[in-house]
Every structure is written in C-alpha cells, then in structure tokens.
Amino acid sequence: MLEPMSGTPSTPEAVFAASPTGLTIYHRLLDVLADLDVDVRATRSQVALRHRTGFAYLWYPGRYLRSEVPAVLSLALPERLESPRFKQVGMPSPEVWMHHLELSGPDDLDDEVIGWLRAAYDAAD
C-alpha cells in the first residue's frame, strides 16, 4: 500500500509544479506499484519510493538542467542493467547501480520498466 511518510517537507505536486506531465507520470507510477508495500517521501527535488531503503526516485530535470523531459525515473539496483533506454548508469556506492530513465509520458511505464521497478523493490531489503 502506498502511503506518504509523515513529516514530508514537500509534496509530489510541488516537485512537479512546472511539469504537469511529470505529475501524471507520478500518478501512473503509484498505480503500477499499488499492490506493494511502498513508502512515498517527497523532498523539494524528488519523490522517493522506499521499501526499507530507497529503490526508485522520480524527479523533474528541468528544475536543474535545460531539459524538455517531464520526469526522470532513477532506479537503484544491485547490478548494472544493459538497455539503450537508460540515459545514464552510475555506481554511487559499491553495492548500488543507479539507472536513469527519461520518461516522456505515463505510457513509458511499460512492462519492461515495471519489471525493473519490481526488481529494484525486491532488492531494497
């Protein structure tokens, strides 16, 4: 069940105030993960999805960069995935590969991305 964590300093609506499509993507993300035990935490810069630890982060790149992309989904996984869909992949810590996926609309959350989300959720133990 998706529930915002208490004491959040922001809201998803504030994160995506300049990106209505990004907010639509966020709501689709909630629908996709509705059957999982996920905590949602919004900060001023992103919406973090957590299951014990963070596994996915949705953010608006136009807030920091010149970009027409409405949202970026960053997935934390224990291994590097190879796909041309990822804009960037990095290793912020020895045990985590962060995969950045630009999303142009809610339909980009297709079966492949949902599989990656669920793998990231499973790894967040």
Show me where the domains of the chain are located: 2-123
pLDDT at position 3, please? 41
Question: Please, what's the b/e burial string for 90-125 (b: 16 or more CB within 10 A of its CB; e: otherwise)?
Answer: eeeeeebbbbbbbbeebebbeeebeebbebbbebbe
pLDDT at position 1, please? 41
Q: How confident is the model at residue 19 (pLDDT cuts 50, 70, 90)?
A: very high
Q: What is the mean pLDDT of residues 38-42?
A: 95
